[in-house]
Amino acid sequence: MQQPSRAMKDRPAPGPAPVSGRAWLMLGLATVGFAVNFWAWALLSPLGPRLKDSLELSSFQQSLLVAVPVVVGSLGRIPVGALTDRFGGRVMFPLVSAATIVPVLYLGLAGHSSLPALLAGGFFLGIGGTAFAVGVPFVNAWFPPERRGLAIGVFGMGMGGTAISALTTVKLVDAHGMANPFLLTAVVLAAYAVLAALLLRDAPGRTVPSEPLGRRLAAVCALPLTWQASALYAVAFGGYVAFSVYLPTYLKTGYGLGQADAANRMAGFVLLAVAMRPVGGWLSDRIGPVRVLTVSLGVVFAGALVQSFTPSLAPTGTLAFLAMAAALGAGSGAVFALVALLAPGDQVGSVTGIVGAAGGLGGFLPPLVMGSLYGAYGSYALGLLLLGLVAAAALLFTGTGVRAAVTRRTTRVPKPH
């Protein structure tokens, strides 16, 4: 009985475990699905200023309009993540994509003429935001532990679907009418749902939980990791979501930019954050997620503090926003490298659902706060100062509680004798 174990111990330390071509294919398909669903999820944000003018909305009503899909998509990740643990991404990706088609068509054809109709359509548009909780456990199962930070970071680039929306929605409405971007997105969603049903496969040997959904969620809620990662993701990804939905309004109101110019600048913010997400995961695989989060949160604190003074966009404001975009993207990748490091294999989807919900909720509140504060004081300075304080608190938490949790995990790993 001892000999095989000794032989295993005496082997040379291997390099990173090889990854099959099929695993990379599944990662690519999952990333495309995430991007397509996020494209749909973000359709209302670029139209916020236009809808505010045409429907004579207040700043708070406009903020509520763009925030409703965020909060629904966030809370929906909790059951969707648990269902993905049970049924796998092969079932859930086509299902979520197909379900998102309905609110997209409704908003494009009939639901954009009044605030109640928009809120109803936006509520169900939130389904697209739950795709994140499908992809993380799906990708996680295909890759070995030492590659998961990078793999989940690459998958996270699908959040660039919001950039597709920012770059195309207003232009398509101007050229072809309000229904056009919604119809186009519905067609792409349908095509992806069919493609996913035909090509997606769950990883061999995927652990399928047998316990009831309620018991599994209760067990996940008892994990300290769940709440540690949720708090950090609420800041990192929540900050990204908040800027991606509110930045056009902020730039138009605070700096007097035109709608198209503001949308293009928001797209630049999103693309940089998207590009940095796999970098954050890759760095976490090599130097640890705690170090990546420490640097990222420090940059967010500094950027928010600078921007609270409303400096000129050229160059100070632009540099502050780009620095925050890079930091929020890298930090988001690091949080899920932390989840991949610490979460039990059969609970990754459930943990992801709750953590993803926290991230989305972190993006739901800031637009409402920013809109309310601007309406009350005619300035965004206080809102940005609050962001800086939250980032500072998360930085302190990372250096204490999260660092201790990672240290306990690494010291529990058996060492060769």
Domain count, the chain: 2
pLDDT digits over 126-169, tens only? 999 899 889 988 998 898 877 888 888 899 888 888 878 878 88
Check whether 68 has a pLDDT greater than 80.
yes
Position 132 scores a pLDDT of: 87
- Amino acid identity of residue 44, one-letter, is L
The verdict on residue 261 lying in a domain is yes
Confidence band (pLDDT; 50, 70, 90) for 13?
Answer: very low
Position 16 scores a pLDDT of: 57
Which of 166, 201, 236 is where one domain is finished? Answer: 201
Check whether 214 has a pLDDT greater than 60.
yes
184 plus 221 within the same structural domain = no
Alpha-carbon span 310 to 319, nearest angstrom: 12
* Greater model confidence, 314 or 89: 89
Give the chain's mean pLDDT: 85
55 plus 148 within the same structural domain = yes
116 plus 185 within the same structural domain = yes
Check whether 364 has a pLDDT greater than 90.
no
Range of lowest pLDDT (180-194, 253-267, 288-302, 390-404)? 253-267
Question: Domain range holding 186?
Answer: 21-201
Which of 160, 178, 201 is where one domain is finished? Answer: 201
Range of lowest pLDDT (132-136, 194-198, 358-362)? 358-362
Q: Which residue has the tokens 């908040």?
A: 242
CA 290 distance to own-chain centroid: 19
pLDDT digits over 75-93, tens only? 888 889 888 888 999 999 9
75 plus 159 within the same structural domain = yes
260 plus 377 within the same structural domain = yes
Give yes or no for a contact between 246 and 66, defined as CB atoms under 8 angstroms apart. Answer: yes
Could you give the 3-state DSSP secondary structure of residue 348?
A: helix
Position 398 scores a pLDDT of: 92
The verdict on residue 5 lying in a domain is no
Alpha-carbon span 144 to 48, nearest angstrom: 42
* Greater model confidence, 323 or 353: 323
Find the radius of gyration of the CA atoms of the chain. 21
Alpha-carbon span 257 to 209, nearest angstrom: 51
Instruction: For the chain, count helices (H), then strands (E).
Output: 19, 0
Range of lowest pLDDT (14-28, 30-44, 303-317)? 14-28
The verdict on residue 226 lying in a domain is yes
The verdict on residue 13 lying in a domain is no
292 plus 404 within the same structural domain = yes
Q: Which two three-digit tokens encode residue 238?
A: 């929540």
311 plus 262 within the same structural domain = yes
230 plus 175 within the same structural domain = no
Alpha-carbon span 328 to 297, nearest angstrom: 8
Check whether 410 has a pLDDT greater than 70.
no
Position 17 scores a pLDDT of: 62
The verdict on residue 6 lying in a domain is no
The verdict on residue 14 lying in a domain is no
Which of 144, 178, 201 is where one domain is finished? Answer: 201
The verdict on residue 208 lying in a domain is no
Give yes or no for a contact between 264 and 166, defined as CB atoms under 8 angstroms apart. Answer: yes
Alpha-carbon span 304 to 349, nearest angstrom: 32
Question: How would DSSP label each residue in 148-203?
Answer: HHHHHHHHHGGGGHHHHHHHHHHHHHHHH-THHHHHHHHHHHHHHHHHHHHH--PP
Print the SS3 string covering 232-287. HHHHHHHHHHHHHHHHHHHHHHHHCCCHHHHHHHHHHHHHHHHHHHHHHHHHHHHH
Over range 236-256, report the average pLDDT. Answer: 83
CA 32 distance to own-chain centroid: 14
72 plus 173 within the same structural domain = yes
300 plus 378 within the same structural domain = yes
230 plus 120 within the same structural domain = no
Over range 106-122, report the average pLDDT. Answer: 86
145 plus 169 within the same structural domain = yes
Alpha-carbon span 330 to 38, nearest angstrom: 19
Could you give the 3-state DSSP secondary structure of residue 414?
A: coil
Give yes or no for a contact between 375 and 60, defined as CB atoms under 8 angstroms apart. Answer: yes
Range of lowest pLDDT (27-36, 61-70, 85-94)? 61-70
